[in-house]
Amino acid sequence: MGGLKGYGELVEKAKPAYVEAKAYTHVGFSRRRLDFENMSIHREIREFAAQLAAETTYDTIDESEESRVVLLSRPGKPKRFGGG
């Protein structure tokens, strides 16, 4: 997964509250363009998120292996919504 430095610069410039690192999912119309093998496994997404966190001031605060997503948040106490 390339472009890590550029992603880091974009995140620091935009300063969103959260960043979701997630991958392509082989569902719907996308199945006509890409194969199942084009999906990253969760370990790869976790590694990318860790590298992105190292390039930025963001911290990993949550992840879902089933959804292949890792959530990063700005430093400090993350905002919580609902019962989370």
CA distance 62 to 28: 26
In a domain, 80, yes or no: no
Range of the domain at 8: 4-73
In a domain, 12, yes or no: yes
In a domain, 64, yes or no: yes
In a domain, 34, yes or no: yes
Total of domains in the chain: 1
In a domain, 78, yes or no: no
Q: Which residue has the higher pLDDT, 37 or 56?
A: 56
Token duo for residue 24:
């392509």
In a domain, 83, yes or no: no
User: What percent of the chain shows pLDDT beyond 70?
Assistant: 88
Report the pLDDT averaged over residues 23-34.
80
In a domain, 79, yes or no: no
pTM of the entire structure?
A: 0.80
- Closest by Cα among 34, 35, 45 to 1: 45
In a domain, 81, yes or no: no
